[in-house]
């Protein structure tokens, strides 16, 4: 029987641990504040931002919401980020992506102070991770490490194959798995003989954005499958990048969609906010 990795339960445990830590900090007079900036009203972004604010309220982190119109100029957004950088009462800054096309995302990310970069997107945060120094780590890959550790899945010495090379998931994931002493391979859209590579994986992490792409033919017997995908299937039901029902009989552990990796991202964002004052 495969272990179904319960991301909802693990993320709730983490938020409860953080809530206690925040209560202790508050007793010492330390209050944590996260500034959440959204430009425009993309509906998916509004849902994410709403969930982040809710998680802050639960854990005891003060959140400041900046909801700016779509017409906000790059200069106006950079000026707000600079103001938040300089505000000693603000511990973390999160600018929800994607931004409207007339704003250079990289410029905005580079403007956020690395000391307040709770998303872990700043080049300094990414660089620190790659050379094993302290810094904020991107929330989804950090959440996957927690899922594995709290499920008792050993990482050291394992063959880990990651499909997807995004800056937010694939690349930082590879660095984290390397830090945990896995042997790491990154695959992407130009990888030849993908199945041959993925069948080597003891731990297969899938972040490609294609519904049910990974079937049992891609998977070794007894593998651990981490599904980062969030798609709609032919019946408009949420599903991952992995064909869950097809691979389930073959695997030793798997994350469901929904209820696997998804809830971990916000739990790790809360962790990064607490990290900013630790």
CA 10 remoteness from chain centre: 14
Least separation in angstroms between residue 44's CB and ligand GUN is 8
Residues 198-237 that bind ligand GUN (CB under 6 A): none
Least separation in angstroms between residue 68's CB and ligand GUN is 14
Residues 68-97 that bind ligand GUN (CB under 6 A): 94-97
Residues 130-169 that bind ligand GUN (CB under 6 A): 139
Residues 247-266 that bind ligand GUN (CB under 6 A): 265
Total binding residues toward ligand GUN, as defined by CB under 6 A: 7
Answer yes or no whether residue 111 interacts with ligand GUN by CB under 6 A.
no
Answer yes or no whether residue 14 interacts with ligand GUN by CB under 6 A.
no
Least separation in angstroms between residue 97's CB and ligand GUN is 4
Question: Cα separation of 114 and 100, whole Å?
Answer: 23
Question: Burial letters for 222-244: b for 16+ Cβ neighbours within 10 Å, e otherwise?
Answer: ebbbbbbbbbeeeeeeebbbbbb
Q: Which two tokens stand for residue 52?
A: 């982040």
Q: Which lies closer to ligand GUN via its Cβ, residue 3 or residue 97? A: 97
Least separation in angstroms between residue 121's CB and ligand GUN is 7
Q: Which lies closer to ligand GUN via its Cβ, residue 34 or residue 206? A: 34
Q: Which lies closer to ligand GUN via its Cβ, residue 35 or residue 177? A: 35
CB neighbours of residue 9 within 10 Å: 12
Q: Which lies closer to ligand GUN via its Cβ, residue 42 or residue 87? A: 42
Answer yes or no whether residue 119 interacts with ligand GUN by CB under 6 A.
yes
- CB-based burial of residue 55 (10 Å sphere; 0-12 exposed, 13-18 middle, 19+ buried)? buried
Yes or no: say if 204 and 214 are a contact pair by the CB < 8 Å rule. yes
Residues carrying an active site annotation: 52, 96, 119
Q: Which lies closer to ligand GUN via its Cβ, residue 45 or residue 185? A: 45
Q: Which lies closer to ligand GUN via its Cβ, residue 60 or residue 262? A: 262
Q: Which residue number is nearest to ligand GUN in terms of Cβ?
A: 97
Question: Cα separation of 163 and 242, whole Å?
Answer: 11
CA 14 remoteness from chain centre: 14
Question: Burial letters for 74-92: b for 16+ Cβ neighbours within 10 Å, e otherwise?
Answer: beebbebbeebbeeeebbb
Least separation in angstroms between residue 266's CB and ligand GUN is 9
Least separation in angstroms between residue 268's CB and ligand GUN is 9
Task: Name the residues that contact ligand GUN, by CB under 6 A.
Answer: 94-97, 119, 139, 265
């Amino acid at each position: 029987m495969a272990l179904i990795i319960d991301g909802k339960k693990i993320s709730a445990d983490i938020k409860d641990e953080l809530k206690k830590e925040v209560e202790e900090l508050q007793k010492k007079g330390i209050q944590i504040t996260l500034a959440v900036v959204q430009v425009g009203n993309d509906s998916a972004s509004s849902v994410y931002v709403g969930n982040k604010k809710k998680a802050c309220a639960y854990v005891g982190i003060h959140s400041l919401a900046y909801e700016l119109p779509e017409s906000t100029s790059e200069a106006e957004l950079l000026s707000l980020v600079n103001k938040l950088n300089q505000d000693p009462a603000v511990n973390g800054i999160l600018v929800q992506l994607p931004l409207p096309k007339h704003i250079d995302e990289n410029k905005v990310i580079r403007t956020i102070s690395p000391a307040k970069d709770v998303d872990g997107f700043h080049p300094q945060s990414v660089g620190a991770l790659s050379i094993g120094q302290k810094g904020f780590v991107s929330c989804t890959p950090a959440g996957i490490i927690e899922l594995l550790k709290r499920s008792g899945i050993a990482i050291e010495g394992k063959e880990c194959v990651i499909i997807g090379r995004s800056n937010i998931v694939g690349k930082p994931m590879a660095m984290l798995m390397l830090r945990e002493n896995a042997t790491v391979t990154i695959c992407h859209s130009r990888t030849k003989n993908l199945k041959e590579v993925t069948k080597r994986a003891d731990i297969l992490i899938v972040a490609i954005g294609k519904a049910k792409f990974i079937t049992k033919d891609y998977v070794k017997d007894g593998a651990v499958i981490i599904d980062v995908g969030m798609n709609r299937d032919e019946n408009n039901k949420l599903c991952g990048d992995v064909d869950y029902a097809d691979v389930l009989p073959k695997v030793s552990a798997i994350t469901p969609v929904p209820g696997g990796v998804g809830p971990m991202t916000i739990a790790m964002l809360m962790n990064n906010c607490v990290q900013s004052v630790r």
